[in-house]
């Protein structure tokens, strides 16, 4: 029986980062049009350059992909950390139907991986590391298994290469966000009051409310993510459309699991190896939000993987 190589991390003696200025470039594509199903979505992004960027640096560019209902802003702090530690250019992207990227009626891993592949091609990123959390991790998996060019390394954060049924919590989140829109609120605090009756965890409420924006014309708060499209796509987001007989990735891959999360349980570790022949698995004592719950430990693990592998 295969036994995966598992790395256990608990605590680190980490020095504080040098407080140096960063060059940050934002590119937004916020016209929420609905392109035809086959059309590539041009993704909104933020670019982070280290204080003294060197194009000859051996480390790859780093592209970071958020999870469901998230955005590139979720990774702002860690993106700065990685830019400095790796001395490389870091890009945080808004996936389609999220953040400031355009909306599309089609939302699955194939089209999302096509969007990111087009971004890599447009920006001439010929040596990249892809890192994604949850839904973003599955997009990274799809890119690797579809052999998207120029991917040197892959980091998957609490996401597994298996078919799964989306948790009922996600449907609850969408239903609550719809209730808030139907209430026609003019104060963001009112949205949190409505959410409290359905979602007790304040961190989850705050996360979801990052998508709530005030319409300058009506004064009403609306969610910038297309709730109906995402609701209709839940089946696709649980689907894993690959088999190891035809889809494998042989380059360096890191899976980071939260031991108190059900998204990447030990029972799927052997399955990881069938798809990713050069994979290692690191475990942190966290829930699903691994990078948010233990950012210092997480940054150390990822930096070590990219630099030394």
Domain range list for the chain:
45-164+240-307, 168-231
What integer pLDDT is reported at residue 187 of this predicted model?
93
**The dihedral of CA 76, 78, 83, 89: what is its sign?**
negative
Mean pLDDT over all residues of the chain?
89
Q: Is the pLDDT of residue 241 over 70?
A: yes
φ/ψ (deg, to 5) at 15: -80, 155
The pLDDT tens digits for 210-225 are 999 999 999 999 999 9
Question: How confident is the model over 167-196, as a mean pLDDT?
Answer: 95
Q: How far apart are CA 178 and CA 226, in angstroms?
A: 10
* Local confidence band at 37 (pLDDT 50, 70, 90 cut-offs): low
3-state secondary structure of 164: coil
Whether 250 is catalytic is no
Eight-class DSSP state of 162: S
CA distances to 130, 173, 234 from 170, in Å: 25, 5, 9
- Percent of the chain exceeding pLDDT 90 equals 81
Q: How far apart are CA 296 and CA 136, in angstroms?
A: 21
The pLDDT tens digits for 224-233 are 999 999 999 9
Q: Is the pLDDT of residue 24 over 90?
A: no
Which of 113, 134, 159, 261 is catalytic? The answer is 134
What integer pLDDT is reported at residue 269 of this predicted model?
97
What integer pLDDT is reported at residue 117 of this predicted model?
97
Which of 66, 103, 288, 291 is catalytic? The answer is 288
* Local confidence band at 57 (pLDDT 50, 70, 90 cut-offs): confident
What integer pLDDT is reported at residue 231 of this predicted model?
96
Q: Give the residue with greater pLDDT, 180 vs 39.
A: 180
Eight-class DSSP state of 279: E
Whether 123 is catalytic is no
* Local confidence band at 10 (pLDDT 50, 70, 90 cut-offs): very low
Provide CB contacts within 8 A for 193, sequence distance 6+.
Answer: none
Q: Is the pLDDT of residue 263 over 60?
A: yes
**DSSP tally for the chain: helices H, then strands E:** 11, 11
Q: Is the pLDDT of residue 126 over 60?
A: yes
Question: Angle CA(59)–CA(64)–CA(68) in degrees, nearest 5?
Answer: 160
Q: Which residue pairs, CB below 8 angstroms and at least 24 apart, start in 264-271?
A: 264/158, 264/159, 264/160, 265/160, 268/160, 268/161, 268/162, 269/4, 269/6, 270/1, 270/2, 270/4, 271/160, 271/161, 271/162
Q: Is the pLDDT of residue 58 over 90?
A: no
CATH 3.40.50.1820 fits 45-164+240-307, yes or no: yes
């Amino acid at each position: 029986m295969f036994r995966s190589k598992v790395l256990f991390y608990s605590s680190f003696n980490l020095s504080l980062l040098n407080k140096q200025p960063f060059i940050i470039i934002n590119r937004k594509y916020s016209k929420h049009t609905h392109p035809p199903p086959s059309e590539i979505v041009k993704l909104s992004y933020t670019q982070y350059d280290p204080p003294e960027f060197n194009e000859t640096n051996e480390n790859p560019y780093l592209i970071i992909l958020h999870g469901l209902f998230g955005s590139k802003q979720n990774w702002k702090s860690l993106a700065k950390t990685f830019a400095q530690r790796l001395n490389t250019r870091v890009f945080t992207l808004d996936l389609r139907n999220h953040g400031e990227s355009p909306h599309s009626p089609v939302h699955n891993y194939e089209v999302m991986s096509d969007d990111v592949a087009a971004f890599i091609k447009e920006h001439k990123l010929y040596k990249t590391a892809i890192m994604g959390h949850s839904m973003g991790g599955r997009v990274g998996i799809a890119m690797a298994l579809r052999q998207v060019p120029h991917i040197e390394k892959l980091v998957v954060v609490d996401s597994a290469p298996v078919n799964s049924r989306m948790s009922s919590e996600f449907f609850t989140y969408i239903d609550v966000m719809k209730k808030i829109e139907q209430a026609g609120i003019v104060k963001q605090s009112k949205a949190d009051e409505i959410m409290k009756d359905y979602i007790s965890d304040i961190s989850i409420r705050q996360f979801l409310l990052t998508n709530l924006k005030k319409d300058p014309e009506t004064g009403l708060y609306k969610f910038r993510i297309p709730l109906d499209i995402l609701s209709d796509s839940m089946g696709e987001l649980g689907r894993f459309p690959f088999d190891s007989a035809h889809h494998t990735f042989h380059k360096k891959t890191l899976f980071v699991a939260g031991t108190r999360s059900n998204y990447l349980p030990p029972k799927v570790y052997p399955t990881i190896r069938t798809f990713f022949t050069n994979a290692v698995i690191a475990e942190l004592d966290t829930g699903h939000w691994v990078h948010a719950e233990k950012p210092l430990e997480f940054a150390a693990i990822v930096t070590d993987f990219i630099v030394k592998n």
